[in-house]
Amino acid sequence: MTSRRFHDRVERDVPAMLEIRGLDVSYGAIRALREVDLDVNAGEIVAIVGSNGAGKSTLLRTISGLVRPRAGKIVFESRPIVGFKPHRIVAMGISHVPEGRRIFTDLTVWENLALAAQFRKPSTFDQDLETVCRWFPRIRERLKQSAGTLSGGEQQMLAIGRAIMARPKLLLLDEPSLGLAPNLVKEIFRILQDINRAGTTVCLVEQNAHMALEVAHRAYVLETGQVALSGPGRELLDDPRVQAAYLGG
Amino acid sequence: MAHAAGLSLLASLDFGTLPSQVVNGVLNGAIYALIALGYTMVYGVLRLINFAHGEVYMLGAYTALFVSWAYGFRPDVPPDQLPESTLLTLLVMMLASMAVCAGVGVVIERFAYRPMRNQARISSLITAIGVSLLLQYGGGLFLPQNPPPTMNERVNPYRQTLELTLVRAPQELTTAVENARQLAQRSEAAFQERLKLEKDRFNLSPEGERLRDAKFEAERQLREAESRRNTAQVTVRVGAGRLAILVASLALMFLLRQLVLFTPTGRAMRAVSQDFDSAALMGVNVDRIVTITFVIGSALAGAGAMMTATFLGTSISPYYGVLPGVKAFVAAVLGGIGNIPGAVLGGILMGVAETLVIWAGYSQFADAVAFVVLIVVLLFRPGGLLGSSAVEKV
Ligand SMILES: Nc1ncnc2c1ncn2[C@@H]1O[C@H](COP(=O)(O)OP(=O)(O)O)[C@@H](O)[C@H]1O
Ligand SMILES: [Mg+2]
């Protein structure tokens, strides 16, 4: 149902929250992305699936300003953001949970969370910390611990919680299910849906396509740097090409 | 043979001065630690060995020298017209050195290292060596160096030597020294009395010779008694200026520690040094953190340079930073490069090792200690004492 609503909006020509047009990214001679067009509308969960090396991480890293595209434009809330430094893009409201979590294991859990919030007005820090701890009760018990002592699942929760502390409008997640036990994956996806319902737009990248397509309003399939398919998550889940290539069926 | 040589070396060592040597080694080490902190912090955030750091230190020494000249401690001023130096004079000199070094560090980072940041690591390394040579030879064109200037020793208001007895000798040894001293004084007095009666003081009468030999014997016994007492007691002798170095270095290191551990900026620095990209994704302005790192690291080198120039009286030249730079770099590697407490530990160990080598009579090898330590660390513990054991390729 929700996906229908957002589609209506695209068709009515309301500008998307994030608009990517003709994006080309290369690492030296390697072309990682070519001619990528992609939209994320406010309020959606968008999934990007594709096999290893398809360019999913590159896409997110380019949106966040870690990688500079060779060509193409990225517009966030009507402002072109190509060429902005990552911290400015974060300040505009895009938070990125990187592949492999990349939490600061030398810092405490609390410091990880505080770091992400320290560049905004501090007035909402306690409130945001409370929100994160409500979503991830295990984090609350471990605030004083060094982040390196957390288990893999807890680290992923910290990585997401940390991104939430920046109060993003758009949350980018790179393979949030990587290396986690199936029940943890379920839990993480459930929380991501909660976060989305609370008003944050979500764009997530997954190799593990099943879960991602189930929760996504819309999805894109990336193949060797190009968008091969796109559509509502459910439709892609039923698409025979997707089933053959990504769902082992 | 080797055994005998070892024994004779042991016999030639003066264990009475050992505690003083260790203390002085720690004080020298405090300076290495201040410089090493700059290497380690910059390496921490950029994975770059800032070879120009020693030259920043050199410029700090010149800055301190120029400020002392501005205060009136110029070489052409006769001693009786020199002004009085105070703690305030020293503080102004130190702040000036720190400020100039911080500025130079920021400029180097902005214009030499930042454009190289996304290039291969080797480009940054070559750039760093280039900046180092540029400052050495460029400095040679503009900075006074013939004859090599030294800071006027009167800039240091703390010139007395402090003596601190840690372990007292037993009473009977102290009494023995006292008795021997009185005997020596009495025989000296008796000999002087006798000299007045002698016709030719270069050709003494038998009585005169007897009193002279008695005097020599009493003096010999006094030296022996003193030596026995000195071996039994532990006394540390240290210049007050060197103690000032220790106090100031500890204060600066404490401030650094508080900053790194307990402020948002320090938290961001730790985050950047652990994961540059991830810190950027958390909203950290990494360029700003890199700049702050250069400011702090360079300012610490400036403080160290001001203190060595003022309190140790070494002569200043455009190459003033080369050896301290190398030694401090080795200290940083010894402690574990990138690790802040490691730099302090490494610096102090280097200072003590070097002083002990001099104490053992091998002063000609003192500067080689750094290289031996470097080789040993790289062979057996490349991550350093406090660093991770993981080897990172440069
Ligand atoms: N830093 C890099 N340098 C060179 N090539 C890279 C780099 N990062 C990724 N690539 C290449 O770009 C392509 C896309 O990689 P990536 O975006 O990581 O894919 P995915 O996240 O979908 O697995 C791959 O061929 C990969 O080898
Ligand atoms: Mg990836």
3-state secondary structure A173-218: EECCCCCCCHHHHHHHHHHHHHHHHCCCEEEEEECCHHHHHHHCCE
Residue A35, helix vs strand vs coil:
strand
Across the range B131-150, mean pLDDT stands at 92
Residues 272-301 of chain B whose Cβ lies under 8 A from any Cβ of chain A: 274-275, 277-287
Q: Where are the extended beta strands (E) located within chain A? A: 18-27, 30-40, 45-49, 71-76, 79-80, 94-97, 170-174, 201-206, 218-223, 226-232
Q: Do B105 and B186 reside in the same domain of the chain? A: no
Q: Closest-CA residue in chain A for B282? A: A116
- What's the average model confidence in pLDDT over A79-84? 96
Report chain B residues whose CB lies below 8 A from the CB of A119.
283-285
Q: How far apart are CA B230 and CA B234, in angstroms?
A: 7
Percentage of chain B modeled with pLDDT above 70: 95
Q: Is A118 on the interface with B (CB under 8 A)?
A: yes
What is the model's pLDDT at position B18?
A: 84
One-letter amino acid at A134 equals R
Do B277 and B336 belong to one domain?
yes
My answer on whether B198 and B340 are in the same domain is: no
Asked whether residue B391 carries a pLDDT value surpassing 50, the answer given is no
**Is B309 a domain residue?**
yes
Residue B120 has pLDDT above 90, yes or no: no
> Three-state DSSP class for B151?
coil
Residue B390, pLDDT > 90, answer: no
Q: Are residues B116 and B243 in the same domain?
A: yes
What does the alpha-carbon distance between residue B263 and residue B282 come to, in Å, rounded to a whole number?
Answer: 16
Residues B276 and B178 in one domain: no
Ligand showing the shortest atom-to-Cα distance for residue A58: 1
Domain contains B114: yes
> Is residue B332, in this structure, part of any structural domain at all?
yes
Is residue B129 over pLDDT 70?
A: yes
What does the block give as tokens for B390?
């993981």
- B6 in a structural domain: no
Is B265 found in the same domain as B195? Answer: no
For B173, phi then psi, to 5°, come to -70, -40
Do residues B265 and B285 share a domain? yes
- Burial of residue B67 (number of CB atoms within 10 Å: 0-12, 13-18, 19+): buried
Question: Quick one: closest CA in B to A122, which residue?
Answer: B264
Domain count, chain B: 2
Distance CA A193, CA A190 (A): 5
Query: Which residue, B46, B105, B32, B60, is CA-closest to B342?
Result: B32
Is residue A231 predicted with pLDDT exceeding 90? yes
Q: How far apart are CA B64 and CA B305, in angstroms?
A: 8
B136 and B182 in a single domain? The answer is: no
What's the pTM value of the predicted model, to 2 decimals? 0.86
What pLDDT is stored for residue B164 in this prediction?
83
| Candidates B271, B285, B287; nearest CB to A115 | B271
Q: How far is CA A6 from CA A9, A19, A30, A189, B41, in A?
A: 5, 14, 35, 21, 49
Q: Please tell me whether residue A36 adopts helix, strand or coil conformation.
A: strand
CA distances from A229 to A218, A219, B372 (A): 11, 8, 62
The answer to whether position B3 is within a domain reads no
| Structural domain ending residue among the three candidates B202, B232, B262 | B232
Same domain, B131 and B21: yes
Which residues span the domain enclosing A139? 2-246
Q: What is the mean pLDDT of residues B79-90?
A: 92
Residue type, B318: P
Residues B191, B189: Cα–Cα separation, whole Å: 5
> What is the A68 CA–ligand 1 centroid distance (Å)?
14
Question: What is the number of H-type helices and E-type strands within chain A?
Answer: 11, 10
Please tell me the predicted confidence (pLDDT) of residue B195.
87
Q: What is the pLDDT of residues B285-342, one digit of tens each?
A: 999 999 999 999 999 999 999 999 999 889 999 999 999 999 999 999 999 998 999 9
What pLDDT sits at residue B5? 59
| Residue B394 confidence (pLDDT) above 50 | no
User: Which of B182, B198, B232 is at the close of a domain?
Assistant: B232
* pLDDT at position A3: 45
Number of domains in chain A: 1
**pLDDT, position A124:** 85
Quick one: DSSP state of residue B314?
A: P
Residue B73 lies inside a defined structural domain of this protein:
yes
Q: Inform me whether the pLDDT recorded for B361 exceeds 90.
A: no
Q: What is the pLDDT of residue A13?
A: 63
Which residues of chain B are within 8 Å of residue A114 when distances are taken between CB atoms? 264, 267
User: Which of A28-32, A76-80, A161-165, B168-172 shows the lowest per-residue confidence on average (mean pLDDT)?
Assistant: B168-172
- Local structure of B51: helix, strand or coil: coil
CATH number for the domain harbouring residue B38: 1.10.3470
Beta bridge partner(s), residue A46: A203, A218
**Shared domain check, B267 and B184:** no
Residues B103-116 have a mean pLDDT of 96
Structure confidence by residue, pLDDT tens digits, B186-245:
999 999 998 888 888 788 888 888 999 999 999 999 999 988 888 888 888 888 988 899
Q: Encoding tokens for residue A23?
A: 């994006």
Domain that residue B116 falls in:
14-161+238-380
Q: Categorize the per-residue pLDDT at B13 as very low, low, confident or very high, splitting at 50, 70 and 90.
A: confident
Within chain B, strands assigned E span 161-167, 234-239
Judge whether B8 lies within some domain: no
* For residues B128-156, average pLDDT: 92
CATH number of the domain within which A34 lies: 3.40.50.300
Residues 254-273 of B with CB under 8 A from A: 264, 267-268, 270-271
| Complex prediction ipTM | 0.91
Domain end: B232, B257, B282, which one? B232
Amino acid identity for residue B131 in this structure? V
8 Å CB contact between B128 and B49: yes
Q: Write the Ramachandran bin of A115: left for phi over 0, alpha for psi from -120 to 50, otherwise beta.
A: alpha
pLDDT tens for A205-215 read 998 888 899 99
Distance of CA A52 from the midpoint of ligand 2 (Å) = 7
Condensed to tens digits (0 to 9), the pLDDT of residues A131-165 reads: 999 999 999 999 999 999 999 999 999 999 999 99
At residue B6 the predicted structure's pLDDT band, cuts being 50, 70 and 90, is low
One domain, residues B222 and B245: no
pLDDT at A88: 96
